[in-house]
């Protein structure tokens, strides 16, 4: 056998005689060996090109199955970073209902107008972007301002393809209801017929593209997730107020019995829901994701806030958190009955064709403080009175019996020390 040809490529030189014969590398010397070497190189190039073409074809076929190039679908925009999850998730989400429950007061009418006008725009397909929702539910929980008039004016225009259902809710005897977020939102959730709900506040600005930017599916394909306005990701103080917005599948919310209606004063209703969703195995994701240009499609319409001080907010949240954590140990909310309502025959004149109007009465249900009793409620008010300490009490499903106590506070505030001792003795 002729000696090995040193002119052969280095890769070939490292191969054994059998391997060289298999891939077409010459084992003979001279012109024949060089000719065979060139033929082998061409053959390998053709083979590599064929493999590359096959991969490209397979990839294109995968893309065509994943992306719809219809006028109102995502199309090629996913390649441009407009849909960050790109080809890993379906780009056409299931039907979504936008839900808002309101107790509109006169000073917040301008903010509501900005919000609902954004919903009107987001209710249309335009410029290759799908509308952000397919239905709208608006709950009027004894508003002091004319919520119905503002809604009819904004939604009554022709050409809005998205239907709006307006629900006006009274107490059992037709009396105005005190604002209770959990009850009001749960009433609206009970009317949702779509697979998915986007719950916003009555001062939330929504734009087209929100659903594509925030798919309800993670990279692993898990659909048991929820997106909410994580205040820790807020870019400014105004964006903190998106914390109450959530998008989730209805079966995910029903699994935990939705909002805990026993929380009937300010604070902790949203956070309690998020905690129970996490405990149920649902993954939390942010709803204020930004596109490649740094733009988010949901934000808060700024307005002057209520006169309730930040310290009072912290204290009220502490009371609710400690109280509901205590109840959850013995009477989990997912096993409780929600408030009940019955429809009544009442409707204003000249309801626009794009709007369905309904009136209901009901809503009676004891609060968490009613259940624990006035004595315990009074002790909790004292226990949570110092906001610098109250902000850290009763986290992680703890209550006053096993949560953090602060020696400095107990040493300097005899009222808190007494309340703490009384609570721990229960």
SS (H, E, C) the chain: CCCCCCCCCHHHHCCCHHHHHHHCCCCCCHHHHHHHHHHHHHHHHHHHHHHHHHHHHHHHHHHHHHCCCCCCCCHHHHHHCCCCCHHHCCCCCCCEEEEEEECCCHHHHHHHHHHHHHHHHHCCCECCECCCCCEEEEEEECCCCCHHHHHHHHHCCCCCCCCEEEEEEECCCCCCCCCCHHHHHHHHHCCCCCCEEEEECCCEEECCCHHHHCCCCCCCCCCCEEEECCHHHCCCCHHHHHHHCEEEEHHHHHCCCCCCCCCCCCCCHHHHHHHHHHHCCCEEEECCCCCCCCCCCEEECCCCCCCCCHHHHHHHHHHHHHHHHHHHHHCCHHHCCCCCEEEECCCCCCCCCCEEEEEEEECCCCCHHHHHCHHHHHHHHHHCCCHHHHCCCCCCCCCCCCCCCCHHHHHHCHHHHHHHHHHHCC
Confidence check: pLDDT of 65 > 50: no
Tell me the domain boundaries of the chain. Answer: 10-66, 86-305
Q: What distances in angstroms separate CA 307 from CA 263, 315, 335, 340, 378, one per listed residue? A: 21, 15, 36, 32, 23
Mean pLDDT of 311-315: 94
Task: Choose the weakest-confidence range: 16-20, 31-35, 51-55, 133-137.
Answer: 16-20
Chain centre distance of CA 333: 21
Higher pLDDT, 83 or 316: 316
pLDDT of residue 272: 97
Write down the pLDDT at residue 145.
97
List, in sequence order, every residue forming a beta bridge with 246; answer none if it has no partner.
Answer: 199, 228
CB of 301 closer than 8 Å to CB of 115: yes
Q: Report whether 376 contacts 426 (CB < 8 A).
A: yes
- The residue with greater pLDDT, 71 or 274, is 274
Give the pLDDT confidence score for residue 126 in this predicted structure.
Answer: 78
pLDDT in tens, 207-233: 988 888 888 876 666 778 999 998 777
Q: What is residue 207's predicted lDDT score, i.e. its pLDDT?
A: 92
Higher pLDDT, 169 or 72: 169
| pLDDT band of 157, cuts 50, 70, 90 | confident
Average per-residue pLDDT for the chain: 82
Short-list 63, 162, 61, 154, CA closest to 114: 154
The 10 Å CB-count burial string (b at 16+, else e) for 86-107 is beebbbebeebbbbbbbbbeee
Q: Give the whole-angstrom CA distance, residue 355 versus residue 152.
A: 8
Q: How high is the pLDDT of residue 289?
A: 84
Does pLDDT of 96 surpass 70?
yes
| Position 247 pLDDT exceeds 60 | yes
% of the chain at pLDDT higher than 90: 59
CATH superfamily of 86-305: Spore Coat Polysaccharide Biosynthesis Protein SpsA; Chain A (3.90.550.10)
pLDDT, position 359: 98
Question: For residue range 17-45, what is the model confidence (pLDDT) as tens digits?
Answer: 433 333 333 334 444 444 555 566 666 66
Q: Which of 138-142, 169-173, 402-406 has the lowest mean pLDDT?
A: 402-406
The b/e string for 24-42 (b: 16+ C-beta within 10 A; e otherwise) is: ebbeeeeeebeebbeebee
Identify which has the larger pLDDT, 101 or 303. 101
- Say how many Å lie between the first and final Cα of the chain, rounded: 98
Backbone angles phi, psi at 390, to 5 degrees: -60, -30
């Amino acid at each position: 056998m002729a000696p090995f040809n040193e002119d052969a490529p280095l890769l070939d030189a490292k191969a054994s005689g059998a391997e060289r014969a298999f891939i077409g590398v010459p084992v003979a010397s001279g012109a024949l060996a060089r000719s065979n070497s060139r033929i082998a190189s061409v053959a390998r190039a053709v083979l590599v090109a064929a493999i590359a073409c096959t991969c490209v074809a397979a990839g294109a076929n995968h893309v065509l199955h994943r992306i719809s190039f219809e006028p109102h679908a995502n199309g090629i925009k996913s390649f441009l970073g407009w849909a960050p999850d790109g080809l890993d998730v379906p780009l056409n989400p299931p039907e979504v209902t936008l839900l808002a429950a309101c107790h509109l007061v006169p000073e917040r009418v301008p903010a509501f107008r900005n919000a609902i006008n954004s919903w009107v725009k987001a209710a249309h397909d335009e410029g290759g972007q799908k509308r952000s929702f397919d239905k709208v539910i608006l709950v009027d929980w004894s508003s002091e301002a004319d919520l119905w008039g503002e809604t009819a004016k904004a939604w009554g225009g022709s050409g809005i393809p998205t239907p709006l259902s307006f629900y006006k809710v009274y107490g059992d005897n037709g009396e105005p209801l005190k604002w209770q977020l959990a009850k009001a939102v749960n009433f609206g959730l009970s009317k949702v017929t779509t697979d998915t709900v986007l719950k916003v506040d009555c001062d939330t600005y929504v734009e087209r593209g929100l659903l594509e930017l925030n798919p309800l599916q993670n990279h692993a394909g898990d659909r048991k997730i929820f997106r909410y306005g994580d205040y820790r990701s807020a870019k400014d103080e105004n964006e903190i107020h998106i914390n109450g917005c959530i998008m989730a599948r209805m079966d995910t919310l029903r699994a935990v019995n939705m909002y805990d209606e026993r929380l009937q004063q300010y604070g902790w209703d949203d956070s309690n829901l998020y905690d129970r969703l996490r405990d149920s195995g649902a993954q939390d994701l942010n709803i204020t994701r930004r596109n490649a240009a740094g733009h988010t499609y949901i934000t808060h319409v700024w307005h002057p806030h209520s006169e309730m001080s930040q310290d009072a907010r912290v204290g009220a949240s502490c009371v609710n958190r400690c109280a509901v954590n205590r109840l959850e140990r013995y009477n989990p909310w997912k096993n409780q009955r929600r408030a009940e309502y019955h429809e009544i025959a009442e409707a204003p004149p000249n309801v626009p064709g794009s709007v369905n109007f309904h009136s209901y009465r009901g809503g009676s249900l004891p609060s968490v403080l009613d259940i624990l009793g006035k004595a315990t409620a009074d002790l909790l008010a004292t226990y949570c009175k110092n906001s610098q300490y109250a902000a850290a009490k009763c986290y992680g499903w703890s209550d006053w019996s096993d949560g953090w106590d602060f020696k400095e506070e107990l040493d300097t505030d005899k009222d808190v020390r007494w309340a703490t001792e009384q609570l721990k003795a229960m």
